[in-house]
Amino acid sequence: MNNGYRAQRFEIGFKFNRKDGKRGIKEFTVVDVERTIGNEGNLKTIQYICTTDFLGTKSKSIFPDTSLARTLSNEELAEHIDKDYTPKHLKDFLKGNE
The pLDDT value given to residue 76: 76
Question: pLDDT of 27-70, one tens digit each?
Answer: 889 999 888 888 877 778 889 999 988 888 888 988 888 888 88
**Under 8 Å between Cβ of 9 and 88:** no
Cut 0.85: pTM above it: no
Residue 94's pLDDT band (cuts 50, 70, 90)? low
Q: Cα dihedral angle (13, 14, 20, 25), rounded to 10 degrees? A: 110
The pLDDT value given to residue 31: 93
User: What's the order of all strands across the beta sheet hosting 25-37?
Assistant: 15-19, 25-37, 43-54, 57-64
Residue 1's pLDDT band (cuts 50, 70, 90)? very low
